[in-house]
A and B are shown apart, each in its own frame.
Chain A
Amino acid sequence: MRVVIAEDQALLREGIVALLREKGFDVVAQAEDGPGLLRILSGHKPDLAIVDVRLPPTFTDEGIRAALEARAKYPGLGVLILSAYVEPVYTAELLDSGGEGGVGYLLKERVGDVKAFVAAVESVARGGTALDREVVSELVRRRDPDGTDGALGALTPREREVLGLMAEGRTNTAIARALVVTPGAVEKHISNIFSKLDLPASDEDHRRVLAVLAFLRQG
């Protein structure tokens, strides 16, 4: 898998590069700011870009803007955002930006959990989602607890929980482990979610993404 990274903090950037190379990813280029990211993307055509939200020169939301532009330009590109904070606005923009590539939004400290981080990188590179559990819980917390809104209102609390874990990019096995149920039970919940959200029968991965998107956009 070909990966590029845009991160201005050298210590973190080099650490991530070393980690990904250890795990067999091909880190083809690195950038330190938004324009740099767009430059290396056009040259290397990677599968995935890992982007920090705050980049020079403005140190505001430079990374998000560059990522949105990149997604518009390269539809298949997966984008994994790293951020020091959870900002639902940015997640929503990323999810709404179209493009077929995967989307991820992780807090920076998640890179410390090597296995989970690598799983997230792989998931996004394959076109899936990987949203930080803080992002997900923020969205769930803000939603009307009575669940009166939209199709999501039809979901049971357990199904919402499963959907939240799906949004984090977890596999069925991982969800089963987290909820202490059997994988079969998780599959049943997921198929209930799909039918309640009226998602067309297509390949499983794509439906997962659609369900997660429906979940998040209604936030």
Chain B
Amino acid sequence: MVDEPKSEIDWRAVHTMQLGATGFIVFLMVVIWAATGLGEYFWPIWVWFGLSIPLAVQYAVKRALDGPRRWRALSVHAALSCVSGAILTFIWLLTGFGFWLFWPLFGMSAVLILHAFLTVWWRALHPKREKELTERVDVLTRTRRGALDAQAAELRRIERDLHDGAQARLVALSMQLGRAEDRLDDHPEAAELVRNARVEASNAIKELRDLARGIAPPVLADRGLPAAVEALGERSALPVKVDARLGRRLSPVVESAAYFVVAESLTNAAKYARGAAAKVSLFEESGRLVVEVDDNGPGGANPEGNGLSGLKSRVEALDGILVVVSNPGEGTTVHAELPCE
């Protein structure tokens, strides 16, 4: 729904004034009519009639404008037709059935029906707005996913390049320095310098390794989600049962998100549910990867906590959902679903 500029006029006050004025005029008419001896003319009725027309039109049009934007022209038309029909009927009654009412009503209805038909037909031919919006949503969903996929793939490529390029050269450098150092036994000062250089090279390699590791743990990239989750379970301080039923590799971005959901949940469990046991389930169901981490600890985790809310935004960026149920005394369940077509 598109917001429209709000009018500055207080319509409620305007209506009240209109009604007040109308009421006053009607009252005046009745008084005059009564004072002139209740003449056989029924003119006050015509005054009321004349006064009520603008009010009725105003009311009908205002109601008609409340509807959805795309049907607005048609509903204004219908409202005016109704008001006109009522006016005609009123005149017809008060003039003592002086004309055949059917034809004007028929004419108005015919025009209204034609308008409705044309509107529907036009919409069918040019279902612009809705279709545009639907398409836009589709495109955005696809491109967002594409961007995330591309980003994940790019990160893995960078990681591989680091490994094959800079890191390999630094290792070779470090080895040559090592060999040089080895031959400098007779020159301890020179050997010291070379050793320092080698240690620097080692530090650089370590920094590159830490960088690469933050992108994706090697076992996840190498062997996929079930193996990586098994590894997390084995390394956890809690006994962890892993039930991973996944027949295929998923896209890197989904794998990473699921991996970090499990990693973070198990870390939390180890921190807050000492002595408890945990269970991890992974399976695919109608195009969604379901990840669930359950522990029988004390519960009462705060779903808005730092780690969990970070996970939530990570999962939601993939159009997934993440739910944390952690009632005190009932353990904690972290349940995530990620689309994985």
A22 to B218, CA, bound (A): 33
Report A-chain residues with C-beta under 8 Å of the C-beta of B167: 84, 108
Number of contacting residues on B, CB 8 A?
38
Q: Please tell me which one of the listed residues B169, B218, B223, B235 contacts residue A142 in the complex, with CB atoms under 8 A apart.
A: B235
**Can you name the residue of chain A whose Cβ is closest to the Cβ of B224?**
A60
Q: In the complex, are the beta carbons of A19 and B213 less than 8 A apart?
A: no
User: Which residue of B164, B175, B202, B236 contacts A16 across the interface (Cβ within 8 Å)?
Assistant: B175
The stretch of A41-49, A87-95, A159-167, A179-187 that contacts the partner chain: A87-95
Chain B residues in 8 Å Cβ range of A15: 172, 175-176, 179
* CB-based contact B175/A85 at 8 Å: no
Against A, the Cβ 8 Å flags (1 = close, 0 = not) of B161-175 are 001100111111011
A112 engages B198 (CB within 8 Å): yes
Q: Which residues of B210-260 have CB atoms within 8 Å of chain A's CB atoms?
A: 212-213, 217-219, 221-223, 227, 230-231, 234-237
| A84/B209 contact (C-beta < 8 A), A15-B175, A108-B171, A112-B175 known | yes
Asked if B160 is at the interface of the complex by the 8 Å CB criterion, the answer is yes
Given A12-B168, A84-B167, are A89 and B237 also a contact pair (CB < 8 Å)? no
Q: Provided the pairs A19-B179, A87-B218 are in contact, do residues A92 and B234 lie with their beta carbons within 8 angstroms?
A: yes
Option from B163, B178, B230 in Cβ contact (under 8 Å) with A84: B163
Chain A count of residues within 8 A CB distance of the other chain: 32
Question: Interface SS of chain B: helix, strand, loop or mixed?
Answer: helix
Query: In the bound complex, do residue B223 and residue A85 qualify as a contact, i.e. CB atoms below 8 Å apart?
Result: no
Q: What's the minimum C-beta distance from B277 to chain A, rounded to whole angstroms? A: 13
Do A144 and B237 have beta carbons less than 8 Å apart? yes
CB–CB B175/A111 < 8 A: yes
At the interface, yes or no: B319 with Cβ under 8 Å from chain A? no
Residues of A within 8 A of B201 (CB): 109, 112
Q: Specify the chain B residue showing the minimal Cβ separation from A141.
A: B235
Contact between chains at B169 and A112 (CB < 8 Å): no
Q: How far is the CA of A9 from the CA of B153 in the complex (A)?
A: 23
Distance between Cα atoms of A90 and B219 in the complex (Å): 8
Task: Say yes or no for B337: interface residue by CB 8 A criterion.
Answer: no
A19, A143, A144: the one within 8 Å of B175 (CB)? A19
For A219, list chain B residues within 8 Å (CB): 234-235
Closest A residue, CB atoms, query B205: A109
Chain B residues whose CB sits within 8 angstroms of the CB of A60 once the complex forms: 221-223
Additional 19 contacts, C-beta under 8 A, given A19-B179, A112-B175: A11-B169, A12-B168, A12-B175, A15-B176, A60-B221, A60-B223, A61-B219, A87-B218, A107-B209, A108-B171, A108-B205, A109-B206, A111-B171, A111-B174, A112-B198, A114-B178, A142-B235, A142-B236, A219-B235
Residues of B within 8 A of A (CB): 160, 163-164, 167-172, 174-179, 181-182, 198, 201-202, 205-206, 209, 212-213, 217-219, 221-223, 227, 230-231, 234-237
- Sample (26) of A-B pairs whose CB atoms are under 8 Å apart: A9-B168, A11-B168, A11-B169, A15-B175, A15-B179, A60-B221, A60-B222, A84-B212, A87-B218, A88-B231, A88-B235, A89-B219, A92-B234, A108-B167, A108-B205, A109-B170, A109-B171, A109-B174, A109-B206, A111-B171, A112-B174, A112-B175, A112-B177, A112-B202, A113-B178, A114-B178
